[in-house]
Amino acid sequence: MSQLRPALFAVALTLAIATPAQAATAAVPTIKIENGRTQPVFSYADAIREHVYVESTVDSDLDGKLDKVRVDIIRPKESGPGLRVPVVIDESPYYDNSGRGNESERKIYDAAGNVAKFPLFYDNYFVPRGYAVLNVDMLGTTRSEGCPDIGGKADVLGGKAVIDWLNGRAKAVRADGSPAVADWTTGKSAMIGKSYDGTLANAVAATGVEGLKTIVPISAISSWYKYQRSNGVIYNYDYASWLANYVDTDPEPKCKPVRDKMDAEDGDDTGNYNPFWAERDYIEGLLGDVSKVKASVFVIHTVNDLNVKPDNFSTWWKALADRHVPRKIWVGQTQHVDPFDFEGRRTLWVDTLHRWFDHWLHGVRNGITNEPRADVEIGPKQWITQRDWPAPFALRASLRPAADGSLGLRPAARNSTATFTDVRMSEEDMVADVGTAKPGRVAFTTGALPLNLRLSGTPTADLRVKLDKPTSNLTALLVDFGETERVDWRRGQGITTLTEEDCHGESTAADDACYRKVVTNVATRPLEIVARGWIDVQNRDSLSRAEPLPAGTYGKVKWLTLPQDYTFKKGHRIGLVIAGTDSTYGNEAGTGANVTVDLARSSVSVPFVLGTPLADVPKDTSRFRGPERLDLPEPEPEFQFY
């Protein structure tokens, strides 16, 4: 024993002398914040890449076992019980089919079955800044179990299970069956994604799941009924089963019973809202609703998105506002496009998203919630900020059609009417040659505008019609007649991809952070269809109950068009076209009904901002502390049409 003491003393002395220097060289990186932003102090190349299977609460493929959700993870090497990090989640059904982003990136796996290449820039950018990034395969897709049910129970509860696992409320296993515990996370999570991915974010947020702190839905669905219906008018038949089959990675027979059930329940025979669609409604649905949302919401959508039509964001946005949910919004003018591909705004988008996540997930006080709530594109690559969307300082004007084909502020003479037949027509035919009578439409135009008028919000069509058959489909189009340069959202979704790249984040040989730049497509055209709206007259009073209009009897048919943000320029004319079945966006046949419009009791109400668009931004919007939404009355606007 006595012989050991000198040796032990020497070892202790050596350790005492060496420890300070060794500790200094082996310091573990921690979260670093400068200028209101987390800094890239963690190695992307050395990050942990792993995958787990989270047990959900559903058995969507009816095999007697709860479905497991495949979760691919990349996180800082230093993360663990001693350094817990928040999580950014992109859950998607598209990781092995259409891919993600403008360049259609797919997951690429290494020999161990872990993802070596994560699609998009989120991992490259956020992992070095102290985040974990999770790419989650939606149930029934890629390497997850189960069957997709297109917005229903499996879609919603699969994603919710991942949030529950991150917060210790659900189980997960590794590929070898050993338990997987998320002891490396704070449990604070964000969900982000475009289209279906963003839809899953909306859906999971509507469950009120604890731990989901913010969502960033991009071009996302809030109601699958609105995605496939408009007031009883059907866009596509049996769409849910078609999409389920497209995203499913299993042999086709496996999930056929699930698809057949969708076809039986979707109500394509009527177009009505029913329990099938209520399950897939995240504003006031069966699985969750906006009243349960605890996460903040950063909405990005475009007013010309005729895939996920913009009423999906406008109704969601209003419902969030009514409940004072913390929120932010970007409104663009291209088609189904990610803000990463808004020309000239890529760096701003990455920085804004960074600050948003830092605030809600790391608790950084960077002032982002005190800034103007809305960024709005009011013309090709022309953006403004304002305190909310739609423009809270807009005034509503009722534009009224007259028998002579004019459109103005005064009601038409009593007993004046216009007639057309509900036939299937394209939008192009509906708006062509508006001064010429056509049997399938009636058209009305203002004189030349004496000033710029910006439409911001959702027009309302309010018609009084008489039919000679039980029902008719109605289309209302608000049109800008006047040649000018506009965003060409029809060509390439409104963007052209270049060969030059820029980079956002760190790269490895397998996964670079560089993406091709884009430019906005523009075109000079003589007209633009600004707002669109459709309704089946049977659904004029209820979406869930069809009621024919007695033949020969006038009835009131009032509905919202799709929202817009658009500037009618001085000298242009505003047109209103009323027609039957729109073949451009619907698959229904015309009913053949003769439609008589009582012009004296018909109008379209439009929210206008007067003057030049750039003058519409209130001064010092960053200090605005007024109400969440300014609901203005509808006074008669102080302008005239000539």
**How confident is the model over 558-579, as pLDDT tens digits?**
999 999 999 999 999 999 999 9
- Which of 197, 305, 511, 582 is flagged as catalytic? 305
User: What tens digit of pLDDT does each residue of 424-461 get?
Assistant: 999 999 999 999 999 999 999 999 999 999 999 999 99
> Is 472 among the residues known to form the active site?
no
- Which of 56, 79, 189, 195 is flagged as catalytic? 195
- Which of 90, 266, 311, 336 is flagged as catalytic? 336
Q: Who has greater pLDDT, 249 or 614?
A: 249
Q: Give CB contacts under 8 A, 24+ apart, made by 619-624.
A: 621/372, 621/385, 621/386, 621/387, 622/370, 622/371, 622/372, 624/372, 624/387
Helices 239-247 + 256-265 axis angle, to 10 = 160
Q: Which two tokens stand for residue 400?
A: 């009224």
Per-residue pLDDT, 393: 87
Whole-number percent of the chain with pLDDT over 70:
91
User: What tens digit of pLDDT does each residue of 288-332 get?
Assistant: 999 999 999 999 999 999 999 999 999 999 999 999 999 999 999
Per-residue pLDDT, 611: 59
User: E strands along 231-288, which residues?
Assistant: 233-234
> Is 336 among the residues known to form the active site?
yes
Would the pLDDT of 73 be above 90?
yes
CA pair distance 338, 577, nearest whole angstrom: 31
Helices (H) and strands (E) in the chain, counts: 11, 34
What is the amino acid identity at position 281?
D
User: What tens digit of pLDDT does each residue of 98-141 get?
Assistant: 999 999 999 999 999 999 999 999 999 999 999 999 999 999 99
Which pLDDT band holds residue 622 (cuts at 50, 70, 90)? very low
Q: Are 125 and 340 in contact (CB under 8 A)?
A: no
Per-residue pLDDT, 159: 98
Whole-number percent of the chain with pLDDT over 90:
90
Whose tokens are 């300082």? That residue is 393
Per-residue pLDDT, 26: 55
Per-residue pLDDT, 28: 79
> Is 241 among the residues known to form the active site?
no
Would the pLDDT of 14 be above 90?
no
User: What tens digit of pLDDT does each residue of 348-363 get?
Assistant: 999 999 999 999 999 9
Phi and psi of 538, rounded to 5°? -60, -25
Which pLDDT band holds residue 249 (cuts at 50, 70, 90)? confident
Among the residue ranges 5-9, 162-166, 624-628, the one predicted with the least confidence is 624-628
